[in-house]
Amino acid sequence: MTENLNNSSNSQKAMLLLNAARLQHRFLNEYIYSYPESLWLEAENLWDKLNFPEIVKQRLRKLLDRNWAERETERLQKSGINFVSANDKEYPDKLRNIHNPPIGIYINGKWEKFTESNSIGIVGTRRCSSYGRHVAYSLGEALSIEGISVVSGGALGIDAAAHNGCIKTGGATVSVLGTGINLVYPQKHKDLFKKITENGALVTEYPFGVQGNPWHFPERNRIIVGLSDRLVVVEAPVDSGAMISARLALEAGIEIWSVPGQITDKIAMGTNKLLRDGANVLADISEFIEIVGGAGNQFLLPFSNESAKNTITGSERTILQILSQSGNKTVDDIMAESKMSLQQVQFCLSSLIASEFVFLSGPGRFSASG
């Protein structure tokens, strides 16, 4: 029994060290799993034998000289944080399918609730529109009602809206951080992070105390993707972290959904590009929930009259007036009456359908909802 405990302790210590040294997953070897203490007993000889990169060997030397692993283990024990490594049964199988999966992840919260359900990743820009915020919040809420977990990055904007929507109805949401597990970034999300741990979890690959360096956030996006069965991009400029997530999802063979946006808005250029390149169109939350959850329950976007007015553009208002006067019109009818291009009409219709102002009244025909 003592020997098993020691081996378990040595295994965690080895994985903590390799994770902190930023070793790539592909260098892990069965020998390390079987004899974890060899990492420091054989040290340089083993590292050379396994072709560890020089930068990793330098980091390992410094960590071992400082007895870092022992201190990190103490921090874990005192804080109640868990560390799940690639050789633990709790490590998510789907996380192994991404490029360079993390050697381990720190977890604060109720991880078992997340692992027991399907999960949808929701990503987007920090500088989102009120429309994008409403959509992300409503998606989080609808998925929670359906019993599907929400994965996002805990950032301002779309991430926070998706987390909050899920939390509202008691759902399990996971936030993948770009900092150490004991840090709050941004600071204004202290209460949000606390709520997440009550029914979901905070997750990161970075050790205690690691600050949010700029490159950590695009780097952590692969974990968001790896924990998701599908990925939804709500609003994203072309050169954004959310688009990095979409590319990683494509590489991992994960289904991508994109919310249409106005073609003149920079924050929607990335999402519209995804649609052009073949992403699934998320233009109706009820339909999306029916597809991913199989329940077919109806869910309406919770727009107040005032916020609804603020989200409608001039072009959308023109189309809504046309359909309000006489519905059951085709796209060609709308183009002729509005003098708009095909692409402009399609994007406006997608936005109006998503906000429940317009509905499909027949094959290829549209009407105003009220």
Beta strands in 237-295, from DSSP E residues, in sequence order? 255-258, 280-281
Walking along the chain (370 residues) 10 residues at a time, the average pLDDT comes out as: 61 97 94 95 96 96 97 96 93 85 95 77 96 96 95 97 96 96 95 95 97 91 95 95 92 91 92 91 92 58 46 81 86 89 75 73 74
**What pLDDT, in 10s, does the model give residues 79-117?**
999 999 998 988 988 888 788 899 999 999 988 766 667
Residue 115 CB contacts under 8 Å (≥ 6 apart), including other chains: 90, 92
> Which residues make beta-bridge pairs with 35?
none
Q: How high is the pLDDT of residue 341?
A: 84
Distances (CA, A) of 182 to 17, 59, 80, 110, 153: 18, 22, 11, 16, 15
**What pLDDT, in 10s, does the model give residues 323-332?**
988 888 888 8
Other Cβ atoms less than 10 A from the Cβ of 22: the count is: 15
Peptide linkage before 214 cis (omega within 30 of 0): no
Q: How high is the pLDDT of residue 354?
A: 61
Q: What is the DSSP string of 61-102?
A: HHHHHTTHHHHHHHHHHHHT-EEEETTSTTS-GGGGGSSS--
Say what the pTM is: 0.78
The amino acid sitting at 331 is V
